Structure 1
Amino acid sequence: MAIPTKASVDTAPAVPTEAPPRTARFIWTSRRRDQLAGYLFIAPQLIGSAVFVFLPLGLVFWYSLHEWNVLAGAFDYAGAANYQHLLDDPALPGVLTATGAFSAGLVAFNLSLALLLAVLLNQRMRGTVLFRTLFFSPVVVSLVAWTIVWGFLLQDNGGINGALQLVGVDGPNWLRGEATAMLSVIAVQVFKNVGLNMVLFLAALQGVPHELYEAASLDGAGRLRQFWRITVPMISPTILLTSIITVVGSLQVFAQIAVLTQGGPGTSTTVLVYYLYQQAFQFHQFGYGATLSVLLFAIVLVLTIVQWQLRRRWVFHES
């Protein structure tokens, strides 16, 4: 029996191995595998957005083109009739005025108070942790419970007027006067959510370099000038974020109006969302309610786009 030598082994023909199909090599490239992994990671968010955001938006627009009477079981195509009703609705200008007044007041008071509290609590003083907790605690309180408590406080014989009588002041009926009802609702909402914006501003303030203030002090700039020339520009991205969040939230207010004033006195506090609720769930005009939803979506979209486009004029790092 012949023993194979090294030369015979080296010259033996190699056994061919089966190469992967060319099509498989073309499809499963490393780039495609990375893309697939990325799509799998964002798939839950995409599915959630499609099911709970885009699909409801499409259905609302579809419903706005119909007359839908749930009690009668009628669902009839109406075309643009609901949108014509929107243009001819005599109550809509007052509703939009109340909505604008509420949003403007809420945004102005909320952002101003939140920034003031953040600046004060950013100082090195005793008890700042306690005050941060106190101002933020209403954010985690149930909205309905918070509103009910304030409803009792703002009654004619409630706690607010009781405290005013101790100093000889006869307080008004806060929730029944046209001049005070809107201010009362705004104040309740401001105190409820000011802590959230305060925390955001506080985080932004702590990221401002201390060297900028030291250099400004050496140049003779006072605290007020430092605030407008250093603090505001440096935290302007956070101001943009909080303004967008607050504007969108102010246009979606419902529970406060429903619990405190029910849109009254008269229609002075009937904002768009509450008017939508009345038309759809009290008067059973679901088609017109869907049309009001489309109007609300358009207003929120336009205001958000306007704020985003204007950021280049005043937001730091965006110019």
Structure 2
Amino acid sequence: MQLDQALEAILTQAREAGVPDFADLPPPAARGVYRQILAANDVRPAAVAVSDEIAAGTSGSVPVRIYRPRQGASAGVIVYYHGGGYVLGDLDGYDSVCRQLCADSQATIVSVDYRLAPEHPFPAAVDDAWTALEWAAAHAGMLAGERAPIAVAGDSAGAVLATVVCLLARDRHGPAIVYQGLVYPAAGAGHFGESDSRRRYADGPTLTMRTVDFFNRCYFGSTQPPASELAAPLLADDCSRLPPALLQVATHDPLRDEALAYGARLRQAGNDVMVVEYHGLAHGFISMGGTVPAARLAQLQLAQALHTALRHHQAG
């Protein structure tokens, strides 16, 4: 399966510009490069209302950025966890992604600035993800109106955090989550083993296995993460009674097969799951809507699925 032509053109430009593999950079430098990549490839920022808050919880606090639709009532709250291997990404880097998701979904977005590794190793990101979810649930009325439903979404490492808070919310009897939008989650971490996608796309075209190992060393302290569902949702003993999900994956992604395996686990456990594979795209497409038309369609599909789920629960 060939790469999307628009994506291939971007990757050619990146190679000619000498964009390095994140694994070859110290984390602070890698974060700067990642921010530049996000800014260059995303959609033009949408006109939405934006404010910064501190989500305070019983076990700490985490910065969040709130995006509200400028026109019409909010469909509900979407807690969004950014990607970046638990090492890269922040509120500013994902500002355009979240602005566009807000405009497309007509929902209030809570973008979570969870702590990054290696300064804050596992399970710091999980703790912050949970704190932000609890805060959003406690403030849902302020964020999106009385009885506002809550969904979660994220990409890559952020998609893992979205899956983990769904597992925790089920086991801890709340907060109620009505939907999960999972974009190419690293669902197996280092426990999935060899797969066709890991072999075929070990060297990219976007994410490389060298970078995956780099992220794992930073966050988990080893290329072999702990055998915990908080690190690898595929290891969960029980995947039943979880929110309906949209799972978006890219063909040209070393993490494709473990993401598909998690989708199969969800379906086998009786959950409502829609799996969409984008055959011409690669890992990272959710932030490429401004330059890759197929990625823009993926953004719209994610937003529509979340909007429909939130409106359904509002009506109910």
TM-score range, shorter chain: under 0.3
Q: Higher relative contact order by CA 8 Å / sep ≥ 6: 1 or 2?
A: 1
How does the TM-score come out when normalised to structure 2?
0.25
Larger proportion of strand: 2
Larger radius of gyration: 1
How does the TM-score come out when normalised to structure 1?
0.25
